[in-house]
Amino acid sequence: MNRLTIAAIAVAVLLVTAASSLFTVQQTQQVLITQFGQPIRVIREPGLHAKIPFIQSVIALDRRLLDFEASGEEVILGDQRRLIVDSFTRYRITDPLLYFQTAGVAENGIRGRLASIVSSALRRVLGNEALLNVLSVDRLRIMNEIRDQVNREAKRFGVDVEDVRIRRADLPEENTQAVLSRMQSERERVAREARAEGAEQGARIRAAADRDRTVLLAEATSNADILRGQGEQEAIAISAAAFEKDPDFFRFWRSMQAYREAFSEGGDSRLLLSPDSEFFRYFRELPTVTP
């Protein structure tokens, strides 16, 4: 083996050693350095770092907010109602060393522990609450209480729980149909009461309208009769005054009206009178013309 080959091998060994000594920490990561499987230090600053090659190992952990979704489980509420609850948890790894020592680096390790913690907290908190509270504005208070309990227990695994949310809360299938039937019966009862009240109110409104109509018609008829009587009285007074002023002309005028009504074209009336009847007096008398 010549010197060139030995130099090439030495350079390759140096490159491999340098590559094994240097590593990069991303902004979304935090790194735990182990030596022969034992943790020795934690690196949180992003950038280029070094380690002892072939002896120390790098374990990268996510420093971002992580999600964990728990499967639906049946919970007994404080009022002995049964409820199927789905929840999700948001957590962050804050102590990589404690996390490594208690949960390991496998993702299933912390998820299994969180599932147990969240399930226990759900049962403890919801076991003291009624169904109405879970479905009302008290739900936020309940979720905050569950989050606080889960966070206290999760700290021993190097994890901070920032939120626990109840995503879905449903009644079991066998209870759902019974609740729906009761709700339908209740809605039908309310509808019947509303229709009965509407019919009663409609009858009162129609009766009041009929009464007001009768009163208005009676008052209008009374006022019309009064006005008609006053008009007739004034007409009689006017006619009487005209008769007193010129009785001959008034009699003549009345006779002319009688002639027009009796002899109008198309009239079907027939009169049987003698020629010397008072009715034809103005036919016999010639008007006197004054020069």
**Contacts with 74 (C-beta within 8 Å, 6 or more apart), sequence order:** 82, 83, 84, 85, 172
- pLDDT of 229-249, one tens digit each? 888 888 888 877 777 777 777
**Mean predicted confidence (pLDDT) in 102-128:** 88
Tokens of 162: 């920032």
Q: Between these two residues, 243 and 189, which has the higher pLDDT value?
A: 189
* Mean pLDDT within 157-162: 92
Say what the pLDDT of residue 57 is.
86
Tell me, yes or no, if the pTM score tops 0.75: no
Reported CATH class of domain 66-176: alpha beta
- pLDDT of the residue at 159: 93
Sequence spans of domains, the chain: 3-62, 66-176, 246-284
Is the pLDDT at 291 greater than 50? The verdict is no
Average pLDDT over residues 71-83: 85
Q: Worst-scoring range by mean pLDDT, 17-21, 34-38, 99-103, 199-203?
A: 17-21
51: left (phi over 0), alpha (psi -120 to 50) or beta: beta
pLDDT at 265: 60
- What's the pLDDT at 239? 77
- Identify which of 167, 58, 63, 68 has the alpha carbon closest to the alpha carbon of residue 111: 68
Q: Of residues 78 and 54, which shows the higher confidence score?
A: 78
Sequence-distant (≥ 6) Cβ neighbours of residue 96 within 8 angstroms: 30, 31, 32, 42, 59, 61, 158
For residue 176, pLDDT beyond 90: no
Is the distance from CB of 143 to CB of 168 less than 8 angstroms? no
Give the pLDDT score at 289: 44
CA distance 109 to 101: 11
Q: Which two tokens stand for residue 213?
A: 């109509």
Q: Is residue 218 scored above 80 in pLDDT? A: yes
Q: What is the mean pLDDT of residues 126-146?
A: 88
The one-letter amino acid code at 224 reads A
* Adjacent-strand bridge partners of 84: 74, 170
> Is residue 126's pLDDT more than 70?
yes
Q: Is the pLDDT of residue 43 over 70?
A: yes
How does residue 270 score in pLDDT terms, banded at 50, 70 and 90? low
CB 88 within 8 A of CB 68: yes
Q: Which of 196, 168, 171 is nearest to 182 (CA)?
A: 171
Which range has the worst mean pLDDT, 6-10, 33-37, 84-88, 127-131?
A: 6-10
Residue 147: pLDDT over 90: yes
> DSSP assignment, residue 70?
E
**What is the Cα 242 distance to its own chain's centre?**
81
Q: Which of 105-109, 207-211, 250-254 has the highest mean pLDDT?
A: 207-211
C-alpha 279/C-alpha 77 separation (Å) is 111
Mean pLDDT of the residues in the chain: 82
The pLDDT of residue 156 = 92
Residue bearing the bigger pLDDT, 197 or 176: 197
Q: Hey, is 45 helix, strand or coil?
A: coil
Using DSSP, state whether 94 is helix, strand or coil: coil
